[in-house]
């Protein structure tokens, strides 16, 4: 596991989001995103990892959740279904934009473009139940 000494520089993106590079590999970042207000993820603190591939910024960063989350666009491995991390990537986009987009995805799940089909099905057939499950997972894991 990469070193995580407190002397590292924190890139505080915006309130509720921080990204801190690992000392031994400046292409890896530890990211922390606070769950958005008025969402089932409110009061949760979600840890993610972000990696800048060798061909960045021509290729998107690799980002995944380390904290378990019940969300139709995030699978059990923490992979994220977000267009700007795939075919809508542009070298003009900043890491800040990526992290803000991930936080926005927590506020507005899209079960019509799922990565976790079972969660998306639950969201479509019983949204109140899915929201309760998401809130419970946030309390338990984040």
pLDDT tens per residue across span 29-41: 999 999 999 999 9
pLDDT at 6: 43
In terms of DSSP bridges, do strands 17-22 and 11-14 run parallel, antiparallel, or are they unpaired?
antiparallel
Q: The tokens of 91 are what?
A: 């070298």
> Annotated catalytic residue: which of 69, 80, 81, 142?
81
Give dist(CA 51, CA 53) in Å, integer.
6
Q: Does position 8 have pLDDT exceeding 70, yes or no? A: no
- Whether 12 is catalytic: no
Considering the four listed CATH numbers 3.10.110.10, 3.90.1200.10, 3.40.50.2000, 3.40.50.720, the one that applies to the domain covering 11-141 is 3.10.110.10
Residue 92 has pLDDT above 50, yes or no: yes
Which residues lie closer than 8 Å to 12 by C-beta, 6 or more apart? 18
Identify the pLDDT of residue 15.
Answer: 86
What's the token pair of residue 110? 């899209």
Q: Where are the beta strands (DSSP E) in the chain?
A: 11-14, 17-22, 25-34, 45-51, 62-65
> Which pLDDT does position 14 carry in this prediction?
82
Is the pLDDT assigned to residue 76 strictly greater than 80?
yes
Residue linked to tokens 């989001």 = 17
Is the pTM value of this prediction over 0.85?
Answer: yes
Could you tell me which residues are beta bridge partners of residue 18?
12, 32
């Amino acid at each position: 596991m990469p070193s995580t000494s407190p002397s590292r520089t924190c890139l505080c993106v915006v309130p509720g989001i921080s990204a801190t590079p690992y000392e031994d590999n400046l292409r890896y970042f530890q990211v922390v995103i606070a769950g958005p207000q008025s969402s089932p993820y409110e009061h949760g603190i979600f840890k993610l990892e972000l990696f800048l591939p060798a061909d960045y910024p021509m290729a998107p960063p690799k980002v995944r959740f380390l904290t378990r989350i019940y969300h139709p666009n995030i699978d059990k491995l923490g992979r994220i279904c977000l267009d700007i991390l795939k075919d809508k990537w542009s070298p003009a986009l900043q890491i800040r934009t990526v992290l803000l987009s991930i936080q926005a995805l927590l506020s507005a799940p899209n079960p019509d473009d799922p990565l976790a089909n079972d969660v998306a099905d639950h969201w479509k057939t019983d949204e109140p139940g899915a929201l309760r499950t998401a809130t419970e997972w946030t309390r338990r894991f984040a």
